[in-house]
């Protein structure tokens, strides 16, 4: 599957792009995971937004929020990592994380990156060099862990 990657600051998102990324986040994090939570946490305005669109389709299939240092954690962070249900098991999530890491290096340098990950995705994030830091905690009723990827 060929993907067109688009990286934009909040101010440069079109209304349609903003709607699509919020719709995908809502579809997966709230509806699919049956987890009512406040997705609109006041951080989007400070972030870059990485969107993946399948070539030949207008639909958003992958998304991450690239968070600058000091907004969520001391270090920059990758958050709201999500792929559309119809593209799972096609390695889109791996491509999304690889591209996210590349963009993080371009935006913030080769330093450390910290994330709050759903526990069941621990192995996935470890495959990108993240290591667990601290104990499991509940966030919105879902088991999470803090993970860090040390910079070069």
The reported pTM is: 0.94
Mean pLDDT by groups of 10 residues along the chain of 152 residues? 95 97 95 88 97 92 98 96 94 97 97 96 97 94 95 76
What is the CATH number for 102? Answer: 3.40.630.30
Q: Taking the CB of residue 77, how many other CB atoms lie within 10 A of it? A: 23
Structural domain count of the chain: 1
Domain with 30, as residue range(s), is 3-107
Distance CA 42, CA 62 (A): 21
> Is 74 within the bounds of a domain?
yes
Contact 65, 79 (CB under 8 A): yes
The predicted structure's pLDDT at residue 1: 78
Contact 152, 104 (CB under 8 A): no
- For 48-85, the pLDDT digits (tens) are 999 999 998 889 999 999 999 999 999 999 999 999 99
Distance CA 134, CA 143 (A): 13
> Is 117 within the bounds of a domain?
no
> Is 123 within the bounds of a domain?
no
Show contacts of 64-68: CB within 8 Å, 24+ apart.
64/96, 64/97, 64/100, 66/7, 66/100, 66/103, 66/104, 66/107, 67/43, 68/107, 68/108
> Is 26 within the bounds of a domain?
yes
> Is 130 within the bounds of a domain?
no
> Is 138 within the bounds of a domain?
no
Give the Å distances, CA to CA, from 94 to 57, 97, 103, 141: 20, 5, 14, 26
- Phi/psi at 16 (nearest 5 deg)? -65, -40
> Is 114 within the bounds of a domain?
no
């Amino acid at each position: 599957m060929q993907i067109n990657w688009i990286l934009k600051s909040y101010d440069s998102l079109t209304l349609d792009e903003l709607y699509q990324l919020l719709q995908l986040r809502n579809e997966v994090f709230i509806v699919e995971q049956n987890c009512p939570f406040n997705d609109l946490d006041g951080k989007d305005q400070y972030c870059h937004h990485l969107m993946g669109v399948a070539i030949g389709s207008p639909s958003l299939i992958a998304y991450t929020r690239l968070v600058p240092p000091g907004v969520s954690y001391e270090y920059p962070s990758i958050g709201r990592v999500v792929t559309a249900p119809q593209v799972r098991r096609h390695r889109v999530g791996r491509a999304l994380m690889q591209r996210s890491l590349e963009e993080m290096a371009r935006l913030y340098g080769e330093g450390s990156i910290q994330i709050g990950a759903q526990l069941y995705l621990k192995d996935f994030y470890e495959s990108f060099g993240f290591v667990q830091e601290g104990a499991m905690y509940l966030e919105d009723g879902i088991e999470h862990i803090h993970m860090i990827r040390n910079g070069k």
